[in-house]
Amino acid sequence: MAGMWIRLRRTSELAVFMIACVLLLTSGSPRASTEEDRVRAYTRGIEFDYISWMSQAARLKVQQASVGVPGYFDRETSRVVVSDYLQVTQQVMRSEDALNRIYSDAQIPDKAAASVHINEELRPLQERQDQLAPLAEGVLQAQIAQVAADQNLTTLGQPIPAVLFHSTSVPDALIVSPRDRIQQSENISIEAGLPVDRQATLEDRVEGTLDVSALVVPIGGVGVYPTMIMRTTDLNWLTSTIAHEWTHNYLEFRPLGLLYDKSPELRTMNETTADIVGTEIGREVMRRFYGQSRQAALADQHLLAWPLRDPNPNDADGPPFDFRAEMHATRVVVDAMLASGRISEAEHYMEQRRQIFVKNGYFIRRLNQAYFAFYGAYADVPGGAAGEDPVGPAVRALRARCTSLADFVNRIAWMTSFEQLQKAIG
């Protein structure tokens, strides 16, 4: 009888999973617009194929659910599986990096010969990674689902949609903003790994033709279904990002998710909510299952907003450079310039500021309206690229007033405007 109940439960979970795939794919389809069509004239040949990726990921998740092995692991075995997977992933990424260095080195004439030994080492590592990935992903899905359920983020007692993710190489995104204001007007996913010179060429062509601001940005995750998560060896980052992207799925069945693209304010409300949920659930997963207090962390696609810092910047002997404070100050000045119509002056100022960031070890390739339009929407922490935008502080204020994470999420999830949020916090 118990075996029959388990099979029935798995069947119902798979049914809900397939329904969620259809709904989330439909709701996440591109919105047609004249500007989008014009931008896509430059990206169609390099756009990321989400349909193929989701189909492949869905097959993997159905196979994983039908076996259900992680459900039988005890806590220590689960910990070992995840640890082994992260260690193998680290070895794979190091080998891939070594290959990239060989093939980008003009001084190596016979690249195939120079990379033979690396490929020989890489092949068994990739096979081992493929074996461990379904198990590790199943463990992490179950852990995050358990914490979400304990936080009462459930429907009929279960997190819906189910927590499902797949670690993979993720696409980059071409972000477009008007020049006279900071506002994300287009976000088009393109294949990862586009060389920097081709990124710059793409940005220049879009800007020159459409008189807009454009920027290719790396991202850490995508809220398709199953969610797409960048490969990493940082378990702190991984748990919070899985929870963040699942939150997007959760919100897709509620007004805040359905209206994601309706206004910049709703987008910031959505992303900041997902940041807050991801941080809190990720922290609890690390505490409960891995015996660690969560380190100060990077949290989603915006994690990559803060470039890796050179450990030996030019002014290392001076006072410490506060990236978030300096970026906040930059955004405030830019907003003021754009509001008064001084577009060229604002763009010249952003380039001057970019050089200051580079001098202090933060290698920002291009600082423009599109940069702030993308990174400014993630406002779970004060300061940074959001500047004086009032939306992020309002979301944080609502969280502070709510007695539980579920109370916060279920209040903001049903809001359809920033005005509703303002009324909720008085």
pLDDT tens-digit readout, 348-382:
999 999 999 999 999 899 999 999 999 999 988 88
Q: Which own/partner contact pairs does 86-93 have at CB distance under 8 Å and 24+ positions apart? A: 86/136, 86/233, 86/235, 87/233, 88/125, 88/128, 88/129, 88/132, 89/129, 89/167, 89/231, 89/232, 89/233, 90/233, 91/125, 92/122, 92/125, 92/126, 92/129, 93/231, 93/233
The rounded distance, in Å, linking the Cα atoms of 135 and 113 is 35
Q: What is the pLDDT of residues 66-117, one digit of tens each?
A: 666 566 688 888 999 999 999 999 999 999 888 888 887 778 888 888 888 9
Q: Which pLDDT does position 10 carry in this prediction?
A: 45
31-45, 288-302, 379-393: range with highest mean pLDDT: 379-393
Q: Global pTM? A: 0.83
Mean per-residue pLDDT over the chain, rounded: 86
Angle between helix 343-359 and helix 323-339 axes, rounded to 10 deg: 170
For the stretch 114-172, pLDDT in tens is 888 988 999 999 999 988 998 999 999 999 999 999 999 988 888 889 999 999 889 99
